[in-house]
Structure 1
Amino acid sequence: MKNYTLRVPPSQRADDWFSFIRESLKHTEGISQLTVDFNQVRFMDTDDFVVLACLIESFYIKGCDIQFIGGTDGFNSHLFNIKFKEYWKEGFDRSKFTLSYNQTTLCLWKISQDMIYSYSMYARKYFERFAINKDLIPLASNMDEVFNNIFDHSRSPVTGYIITQYYPKNNKLSFSVCDFGIGIPNAIKEVDIIDEPDFEDWKAILKSLEKGFSINSTPRNRGFGLNNILEFTESSKGRLLIISNDGIVEKKAGEMYHAGSNNFNFSGTLVKVEVDLNSFDEKDETDQIFDF
């Protein structure tokens, strides 16, 4: 029996997390027992959870058992409430809804093509409890965009994960999606003629955010759809963060882009969206008759 231990970074530094991913993925072959060690972890944000879930899945799909150790009492209480440690138990279906004990967290979900629209509709209904009379249809439609792009472009062996968290203190919502696919820059370079010989990854991400930009796509999705997500975060006084391959792009509403090379050598894409629920439009009561 060959064991391997994932020592989860206790910090929130991106450098720590992506070096952790890069090193861990070198060891997925021939492992029969994976131990996920939370050390003295006190907090993980939505982006940390989806990255870690994809990483665990990379081992799990190759047939190893998963066990968890470590972590502070408070953090382990949170893991219990969102049922994180149950996800890789025998018989657990990660592609179905898993109601958590924490009402402000919509379950970690292994993205399933058949459940895309069901999940986004459920997310809308789930968080309408905290956004009285607010129209959350834009939230659902932008989730659809991200999910469809994973299936259309990423070619990720683990299909991707999402988790959504509501923060009542500031009435904000955050969702993060991660896959371990080829990455946005590689997907663009495969189909688009780039005149620059050294076209950097962050420039490719910016290109994917341009209005009207599209690459060949399946009928359900007209392109990357990332401009819609950019406009969504802008109108909702939010923040968009995209890390893919060696590029990173961050855009806060009303501010200039922060973009550049990250040297993470990350094979995949991480998208994090934060929005202010106070900024959403009021529901149009005349539309309620059509609300199924």
Structure 2
Amino acid sequence: MEYRACIHNDECGTVVFTFPDIEVKNLSPVHIVSLACLIEHISRFDVEIKVDRKTPVGDYLFQTLKFREYWAGGQDHSHIEDENILNLWRLKDEQKELYGNEVTKYLKDKFKSDKDLSSIKVSITEAFYNVCDHAYAEGNAFSFIQFDPDNQILQIAVCDFGIGIGNSVRTVLPYVSDEEALRKAIEPKFTVKSKLHNSGMGLDSIRGSSTKDQNMLILSNGAFLMTKEESVRTKKMDFEFKGTLVYYKINLNHYEAEETLDTLDFDYLN
């Protein structure tokens, strides 16, 4: 039986997730956050969630990413040993400050270099704020951050099962399509509910931090948007995504060193 019919008709007490044909190396942050939102959604129907640990992916979710602690243990975040991952984080309004502090710590601990990473921290925390301010996801929202040290690529994914960007934008622009709403949402200074922390710069700051050889992807309601450098592409989808998924990558090789004027030699001025 299709799971939606099952949970809505109260005909199942348990849903088992199994991943027989997927390798752990093929998992991306997009898969992790969207799966977390789906599990959270199903669990709210008083359905027991189980993960088949006999598969490599199931064991990875259970042992390494500690998925069980989020639902059986009621955790919003669980620290893991893999230093390249800032593990799954349930995005709640009251967690804003804690999340921002943890992102700062992650960047400082992981990237002990002279690169200026302040814009990365801003983009990640703004993704959090966008969920809290506009998604109305009622706690069904997660972020996941992963670093590829070999290629110096930082991957960030944020997913929520809220109202979606299209529906949010239509509170102020009632007649726009989902594609038009996505284009509007990435415009600088556009906002549906201004807050002091971003004043409409949330998605634009995310786009700005995505480096020139990397894309930003937004999937919401019935459309997706992809940006690369100055190019913006949107397309209508043949299914409805009830919420928003934001995924972007940052190549740290493109980030310049932070200015440290106090260490420079100015003798040539004399």
Q: 2-side partners of 1:111 and 1:83: how far apart? A: 17
Aligned match for 1:277, one of 239, 252, 264: 252
Aligned match for 1:265, one of 221, 237, 240: 240
Cα offset, 1:46, TM superposition: 0.4
User: Which residue identity is paired with 2:130?
Assistant: N
1:88 corresponding residue in structure 2: 71
User: Which residue identity is paired with 1:208?
Assistant: A
Q: What per-residue deviation string (whole Å, max 9, x for no partner) do you get for residues 193-227 of structure 1?
A: 54xxxx43122101111122122234544236211
2:150 corresponding residue in structure 1: 169
TM-score (norm 1): 0.79
Residue 140 in structure 1 maps to residue 124 in structure 2: no
Q: What per-residue deviation string (whole Å, max 9, x for no partner) do you get for residues 130-156 of structure 1?
A: 432222221221122111111211111
1:100 corresponding residue in structure 2: 80
Report the count of equivalent residues: 257
Structure number with greater Rg is: 2
Residue 154 in structure 1 maps to residue 135 in structure 2: yes
Say which SS state the counterpart of residue 147 (structure 2) adopts.
Answer: strand
Deviates more, 1:62-71 or 1:164-173: 62-71
Q: Please tell me the root mean square deviation across aligned C-alpha atoms, in Å.
A: 2.5
Q: 1-side partners of 2:127 and 2:4: how far apart? A: 24
Describe how 1:130-279 pairs up with structure 2 within 5 A.
130-131=110-111, 132-192=113-173, 194=175, 199-223=176-200, 225-234=202-211, 237-252=213-228, 254=229, 256-279=231-254
Q: 2-side partners of 1:138 and 1:27: how far apart? A: 44
Aligned match for 1:58, one of 34, 37, 41: 41
1:48 corresponding residue in structure 2: 31
Call closer, same or farther: CA 1:64–1:75 in 2, change over 3 Å: closer
Q: 2-side partners of 1:269 and 1:116: how far apart? A: 19
Q: 2-side partners of 1:73 and 1:107: how far apart? A: 18
Cα offset, 1:285, TM superposition: 4.1
Q: What per-residue deviation string (whole Å, max 9, x for no partner) do you get for residues 141-183 of structure 1?
A: 1122111111211111443001000011200000100111111
Cα offset, 1:25, TM superposition: 4.2
